[in-house]
Structure 1
Amino acid sequence: IGLGSNDYLNNYFMPTFYSTGNQYSPDSFANDLINRYTQQLRIMYNNGARKFALIGIGAIGCSPNELAQNSRDGTTCDERINSANRIFNSKLVALVDHFNQNTPDAKFTYINAYGIFQDMVANPSRYGFRVTNAGCCGVGRNNGQ
């Protein structure tokens, strides 16, 4: 289950369209998302689900779209976005630990998408990539617009 990326990309960090980023600190926004995540996981658990893989948010601030819009050189990641993503991920890890401690008949696993993405950017050839700052099929700067 992967939740949260869209909430950051298409809400929290879109001040032209949404006031969320001005209303919530990164910590309080992450808390709100985690509370909603918790409610949905409890519903799934109460309906019989017992195995959960929860995927953290990747380094969205390093995506081609964010590099195109927010990076002066087209290669430097947006730390403001990545910092918010790390806050969410740390709360998600705590949520996984909480569920594993309190629902012994279920198994919750955290998948570190942020770490995986960072390793792919740092070691692209290991994954068969040569270009890490541009999309394959987009338009505009970095093929990310």
Structure 2
Amino acid sequence: MHSMARMHFPLPSRPFLLLPHLFLLLAATVCGAKVPAIIVFGDSSVDAGNNNAISTFLKSNFRPYGRDFIGGQPTGRFSNGRVPTDFISEAFGLKPTVPAYLDPMYSIKDFATGVCFASAGTGYDNATSNVLNVIPMWKEMEYYKEYQQKLRSYLGDDKANFILSEALYVVSLGTNDFLENYYSSVPGGRRSQFTVRQYEDFLVELAAGQITELHRLGVRKVSLTGLPPMGCLPLERTTNFFGFNECVQEYNNVAVEFNGKLRKAVNRMNRQLPGLRMVLSDPYELFLEIIRKPSSFGFNVAQRACCATGLYEMSYMCNQQNLFTCTDASKYVFWDSFHPTEKTNQILAGYLTKEVLLPAFS
């Protein structure tokens, strides 16, 4: 699922009047690697296929997922093609895809310039990963420790330590904590324990703890991704019967509020943790603009997704047997009812790379 599977930056004065293809070119501005590797933690916004290797119903390693990926392969990415971290890797002059750590096709040789530990359906909160039996953040970090050891064995301590300290770490999650946990009907869920503001604060504390632990492990360059306008995901609009299938404003308000709290936490940790350089990559405003004015970015459809009816399907309900799937995903903002198309991922990643990541880490 999706947290977009989010340093504050000013939006340019007229960013949305640019031709859509200019956004698509941003992610391809390769001028030599500014960082030696891209290392990814998070949820389905960035999962490259780790859920293929675990026992969960939340998978996407079948067509039509991946139909526009290199070779038309369904890799376990929740998209018709690449996810944002693939484009970020390419923009930094590294490889065009970041492989999943649990994918048996790859080895430490492949992971030396980029690796993904993300798991679709996870969150900052361990209780969120339990909902769909996916990899919790603490386990993603255990895999990272294992990776550190493998990299040192493969490259030697000096070279490995250079890569580990100079790599860009992308952390992208949070949407599931709200939509699959707090606002869901999970018995004894977090909603019975917290007000939504208290839960936001609880998640920010968890995020700060996780970043602090990564810092202890030698991590120094971090992009923490904010939440998207999660009330505008097709699934949320479909179920907003009394709101005439418009975006759920409460969810969007929570995303904005949570992103503001994350920004304060980022500033605080940059002051407190020696050598840490962390930025907040906040996709909210641009993503909302894409949804509100899709034609400005070359899209035709924003309210429903490409796959199946586009109203509520994802994972196994979005499969090859469904006859309703659109023929051209590039006309759609969303691929399934929870996840953007490759084109949307490319626009968002290109913009955040140009405006936030390259200025901070080049």
TM-score, structure 2 as length reference = 0.37
Does 1:70 pair with 2:70?
no
Equivalent position to 1:49, from 214, 219, 226: 219
Instruction: Say which SS state the counterpart of residue 39 (structure 1) adopts.
Output: helix
Does 1:91 pair with 2:258?
no
Q: Which amino acid aligns with 2:192?
A: N
Structure 1 residues 65, 18: closer, same or farther in 2, change over 3 A?
farther
Instruction: Give the whole-Å Cα distance in 2 for the aligned partners of 1:107 and 1:8.
Output: 27
Counterpart residue number, 2:196: 26
Instruction: Give the whole-Å Cα distance in 2 for the aligned partners of 1:138 and 1:117.
Output: 22
Equivalent position to 1:112, from 271, 282, 299: 282
Instruction: Give the whole-Å Cα distance in 2 for the aligned partners of 1:102 and 1:16.
Output: 36
More moved, 14-23 vs 40-49: 14-23
Regions of 4+ moved over 4 Å:
none
Counterpart residue number, 1:11: 181
Counterpart residue number, 2:122: none
Counterpart residue number, 2:148: none
TM-score, structure 1 as length reference = 0.88
- In the alignment, is the contact (CA less than 8 A) between 2:215 and 2:273 conserved in 1? no
Instruction: Give the whole-Å Cα distance in 1 for the aligned partners of 2:288 and 2:201.
Output: 24
Does 1:79 pair with 2:249?
yes
Structure 1 residues 17, 65: closer, same or farther in 2, change over 3 A?
farther
Instruction: Give the whole-Å Cα distance in 1 for the aligned partners of 2:182 and 2:174.
Output: 10
In terms of fraction of residues, the more helix-rich structure is 1
Instruction: Give the whole-Å Cα distance in 1 for the aligned partners of 2:172 and 2:239.
Output: 24
Q: Which amino acid aligns with 1:13?
A: Y
Instruction: Give the whole-Å Cα distance in 2 for the aligned partners of 1:56 and 1:41.
Output: 14
After superposition, the CA RMSD in angstroms is: 1.7
Larger Rg: 2
Offset of 1:57 from its aligned partner? 0.6
The alignment-based identity, stated in percent, is 27
Instruction: Give the whole-Å Cα distance in 2 for the aligned partners of 1:104 and 1:120.
Output: 38
Offset of 1:15 from its aligned partner? 2.6
Instruction: Say which SS state the counterpart of residue 24 (structure 1) adopts.
Output: coil
Compare relative contact order (CA 8 Å, sep 6+) and give the higher one, 1 or 2.
Answer: 1
Offset of 1:42 from its aligned partner? 0.6
Instruction: Give the whole-Å Cα distance in 2 for the aligned partners of 1:23 and 1:77.
Output: 26
